[in-house]
Chains A and B, each alone.
Chain A
């Protein structure tokens, strides 16, 4: 009951949007049509799940968009069409993702730099590095095996949908574990958590690492799906944050469910699909996101810091 209540409205909105899409495009009702939609949404849903861990711990991760770009560009350059290179490059990408998350987390907690600044800096560092390395135009090509994850199917189901199910399931399990409970408590009341024996910094660092991992996986899917470009990850960090906020997760931490965050991502993707179907320019996407994020936060998702009342 509590779970339903706390994630309620987003599922209603998602359902309405899906109905509207189906009305405009009956193909959407067929399994293939629907799966194609989920496949397109998968990278964002995975990113949103990763972002959720960071946000619920009371922080932000603005670096995931650039990280996705890095993943794709690095993969193309290192693989350069060579099938045999696929697997070690995939492993390398995962390591890069984990490492970027680790650095974000260590700087934020260890040096007490606000995560907004840490990850903004990381975003710029990564963008700059990509630009420097590629000179503006990415070189090389991905291998077929690499592209399989983003665009091919296993039987009737796209690989990316399977990967999404695994990642989503893992996220849900993680939030139900002791780690998830400690993370929630940390985001809700850091002091109380620390005084209950929670390793607050380590918990937060792990959240950033999870977000980095999510970005790595999203990058792998997007590389196959969208191809190689230096713009592939652009704006994804804000889409992911919008999705999480849309799912009713409070900025500031300690509140909201990962399922709702992922539903928020699906909702956002559905909205873009709908705008597309009605021939509204893709350029409007940013404006729509802007409105959503302000409206969702204004609608009371933000938790005001407790005012400490002076004792008489």
Chain B
């Protein structure tokens, strides 16, 4: 791939990216969230077409209008979310849409035989070709995706964060699988946040940052420190409101909290404090927020003021959550600003009568029109409405999950100000963000999540490298 550039709605997400991968090579692609890894891979797979640049396979220039064309050219992509039919067998999934036909009927025998042969070649013995996919574990389903790719004679396989959903022991199996693919002369593009995997598996690594290529290097020639620096190294040019100086009594504390995803969570947040939560996608950040908020409750450990078993209990105990995905989880889009802003207080009957104009002005909604349907508001204004919703019940603890995602710069600063203001007024705030500059700029303390546990606690103002090291897991201790 040469000189690839791509913009969405006028926003440049990739520019001048070169990437090459040889047969039998494992090539890792790393970068922060939003660095452009996924877009680059989707261009290779024919999901998007590049605005500039070219893609060559075996020296022949190709341009795919459709993913199927890329498939025919030997490119297969294995997404984090699998494309499998749970109620069909392994063989049926492998040959989905390309069933071998004999005398007008699907040749099941051929399907089964071919699938069994592929399973043997991969050394996979834990399941057989006629098992239903829904009976398989996530790791086994991943193998089915790889079988699918192989049966299509894929020569380039892209794996998007393949270990994100795997347990520790399953990762070992994946390593062996990738080794087999390499032996077969398949080029593997391996996207991952996890540096250990990069060094274990890949011969070369390409670092993307803000849509541009930073460097391609042999993994033998680079240290994990350098790699982290390449991924995050940038200026902290943005202004954040000054930190608070005083923190008061502890408003929230969790001891040994755990559930299906989380384990051994110990943390506390005091009034006046903003506690940052860092971590990669899938590290358990959002799950931590939902556990404290009672939406996906803790099943172990203790929590004070109480360990909520439901959202209502949490709200009654003075805990609020500004969701990561405000359209799906935060707002009733067709209702008015007023009805959204008052929804929480109407559900729990707290806070009494609210002066709606005063409320909207306090969150600096511009213009403060209570009758407008929220779907017509900008992202920043929608987020302010979500914030207003919680302010009406004056929570003691307010958790923000990605508070400024999809929000323009001006509204971002306003939301940061509001958060600091709430903390000054005595609220205890937790803030999850995948934007490290924001997290570092806002937080009085930062906990770093990894694999559902707290990997470390950092004081105010750590370097991005320190956070990334903890989040990604270091190669050398």
Chain B residues within 8 Å of A308, by CB: 328
Which parts of B3-47 form the interface with A (CB within 8 Å)? 13, 34, 36, 38-39, 42
**Bound CA span A194–B315, Å:** 11
Chain A 182-206, CB-CB to B under 8 Å as 1, else 0, gives 1011001101111111110000000
Task: Give, as a whole number of angstroms, the nearest-CB distance from B389 to chain A.
Answer: 6
User: In the complex, are the beta carbons of A192 and B330 less than 8 A apart?
Assistant: yes
Task: Point out the residue from B13, B293, B329 that lies within 8 Å of A192, measured CB to CB.
Answer: B329
Task: Give, as a whole number of angstroms, the nearest-CB distance from A310 to chain B.
Answer: 8
Q: Which residue of A lies closest to B390 (CB)?
A: A196
User: In the complex, are the beta carbons of A306 and B328 less than 8 A apart?
Assistant: yes
Task: Point out the residue from A178, A196, A254 that lies within 8 Å of B389, measured CB to CB.
Answer: A196
Task: Give, as a whole number of angstroms, the nearest-CB distance from A5 to chain B.
Answer: 11
Q: Given known contacts A191-B329, A308-B328, is B343 in contact with A254 (CB within 8 Å)?
A: no
User: In the complex, are the beta carbons of A197 and B332 less than 8 A apart?
Assistant: no
Is B464 an interface residue when CB atoms closer than 8 A count as contact?
no
Which parts of B300-350 form the interface with A (CB within 8 Å)? 311-312, 315, 321, 323, 327-336, 339-340, 342-344, 346-349
Is A2 an interface residue when CB atoms closer than 8 A count as contact?
yes
Chain B residues within 8 Å of A197, by CB: 311-312, 315, 344, 347-348
Chain A residues within 8 Å of B171, by CB: none
User: In the complex, are the beta carbons of A182 and B329 less than 8 A apart?
Assistant: no
**Bound CA span A196–B339, Å:** 12
Chain B residues within 8 Å of A178, by CB: 346-347, 349
**Bound CA span A189–B333, Å:** 8
Chain B residues within 8 Å of A2, by CB: 336, 371
**Subset of 24 A-B contacts with CB under 8 Å:** A2-B371, A181-B342, A182-B346, A182-B347, A184-B335, A185-B335, A185-B340, A188-B332, A189-B328, A189-B332, A189-B333, A191-B329, A195-B295, A197-B347, A197-B348, A199-B347, A254-B334, A255-B334, A306-B327, A308-B328, A312-B13, A312-B34, A312-B36, A312-B39
User: In the complex, are the beta carbons of A312 and B335 less than 8 A apart?
Assistant: no
Chain B residues within 8 Å of A188, by CB: 332-335
Task: Point out the residue from A198, A199, A255, A303 that lies within 8 Å of B343, measured CB to CB.
Answer: A198
Chain B residues within 8 Å of A181, by CB: 335, 339, 342-343, 346
Task: Give, as a whole number of angstroms, the nearest-CB distance from B263 to chain A.
Answer: 24
**Bound CA span A131–B335, Å:** 44
Q: Which 4 residue pairs of A and B lie closest in terms of their CB atoms, listed nearest first?
A: A188-B332, A197-B347, A178-B346, A185-B332
Q: A197-B312, A197-B315 given. 19 additional CB < 8 A pairs?
A: A181-B339, A182-B343, A184-B339, A185-B335, A185-B339, A185-B343, A189-B328, A195-B293, A195-B311, A195-B321, A195-B323, A195-B329, A196-B389, A199-B312, A254-B334, A308-B328, A312-B36, A312-B39, A312-B42
Q: Given known contacts A197-B311, A197-B312, is B346 in contact with A192 (CB within 8 Å)?
A: no
Which parts of A270-306 form the interface with B (CB within 8 Å)? 303, 306
Task: Give, as a whole number of angstroms, the nearest-CB distance from A6 to chain B.
Answer: 10
Task: Give, as a whole number of angstroms, the nearest-CB distance from A247 to chain B.
Answer: 16
**Bound CA span A255–B348, Å:** 23
Chain A residues within 8 Å of B346, by CB: 178, 181-182
Chain B residues within 8 Å of A254, by CB: 332, 334-335
Task: Point out the residue from B81, B311, B335 that lies within 8 Å of A194, measured CB to CB.
Answer: B311
Task: Point out the residue from A184, A199, A310 that lies within 8 Å of B332, measured CB to CB.
Answer: A184
Q: Which residue of A lies closest to B349 (CB)?
A: A178
User: In the complex, are the beta carbons of B328 and A191 less than 8 A apart?
Assistant: yes
**Bound CA span A261–B142, Å:** 51
Chain A 231-265, CB-CB to B under 8 Å as 1, else 0, gives 00000000000000000000000110000000000
**Bound CA span A181–B341, Å:** 11
Q: Which residue of A lies closest to B371 (CB)?
A: A2
User: In the complex, are the beta carbons of B38 and A312 less than 8 A apart?
Assistant: yes
Task: Give, as a whole number of angstroms, the nearest-CB distance from B261 to chain A.
Answer: 18
Which parts of B274-312 form the interface with A (CB within 8 Å)? 293, 295, 311-312
**Bound CA span A123–B295, Å:** 36
**Bound CA span A308–B321, Å:** 21
Task: Give, as a whole number of angstroms, the nearest-CB distance from B84 to chain A.
Answer: 16
Task: Give, as a whole number of angstroms, the nearest-CB distance from A189 to chain B.
Answer: 4
**Bound CA span A182–B321, Å:** 18
Task: Give, as a whole number of angstroms, the nearest-CB distance from B297 to chain A.
Answer: 13
Chain B residues within 8 Å of A255, by CB: 334
Chain A residues within 8 Å of B39, by CB: 312
Task: Point out the residue from B328, B334, B347 that lies within 8 Å of A196, measured CB to CB.
Answer: B347
Task: Give, as a whole number of angstroms, the nearest-CB distance from B248 to chain A.
Answer: 26
Task: Give, as a whole number of angstroms, the nearest-CB distance from A305 to chain B.
Answer: 11
**Bound CA span A306–B344, Å:** 23
Q: Which residue of A lies closest to B316 (CB)?
A: A197
**Bound CA span A310–B42, Å:** 12
